Structure 1
Amino acid sequence: MIQCKRVYQGVEEEDGRRVLVDRLWPRGCSKAALQLHAWLPEVAPATELRRAFDHDPAAFAEFRRQYRAQLAGHPEHWQGLLALAEQGTLTLLFAARDSEHNNARVLAEFLEQELDRRADPSSPVCYADR
């Protein structure tokens, strides 16, 4: 399971592996107090893309499209996250105030689709007549 959570929310047992997926370290958070499994700034949107989006919900669709293209071009940045998600709960941490329009949501959706793509087919081919 992949979930998203603001970095400023408290740590919970249900969080599983906690990974910060922002390019910049969140303001007001000490590295010692955050309790992370990893910080992966390279999986975050490129600086130019992040600046162009500027947390504007009206620009989210284009941001989402461009960020997904960025992710597709660099599987080496996110493949380790798939392995963590397959082992248990993966919590993608983000600092943005908007809990719906942010890079962690796009990344979670992207990773869920990759996991679905890797999964075994849901119905086997029938060879009863052979």
Structure 2
Amino acid sequence: MVLCEDGECSVCLLPYSRMDRIPRLLHCRHTFCQPCLETISRLRSGHLAVSCPLCRRVTCIGPERSLQEALWVDLELWERIQEAAVVEEEEEKEEEEDGQKRRATVQRMEAKQQPALQAEEMKSWRRLSTDDVF
């Protein structure tokens, strides 16, 4: 199995998030997103069993608990998700500022070219004869 970058579930290859792709630790200490763990879990003799996709060790969860209640959140990844979100926000803000700067530059260039274009249009105008009028 291909190991993924930290911050991505190695089953679905999607980045972890704090809302829907919460990183959860199995008893073998491997981490996967909650939706993938729910997909690969099986009910056996009243217990929920999750076989680790990496090492095949089985994590059993009693009938009184859900997967979400029984498995810990990987706090190391959880903290990185927060940092990644802040970095993404900063990058989006920078991209927006760059876009605004580009638009302002284009507007300035267009404003400088406007008089030249108007003069060109004036040169191309000609007086229509009475035959050319519809």
Superposition TM-score, scaled by structure 2 size: 0.25
Q: Relative contact order (C-alpha < 8 Å, sep 6+): which is higher?
A: 1
Superposition TM-score, scaled by structure 1 size: 0.25
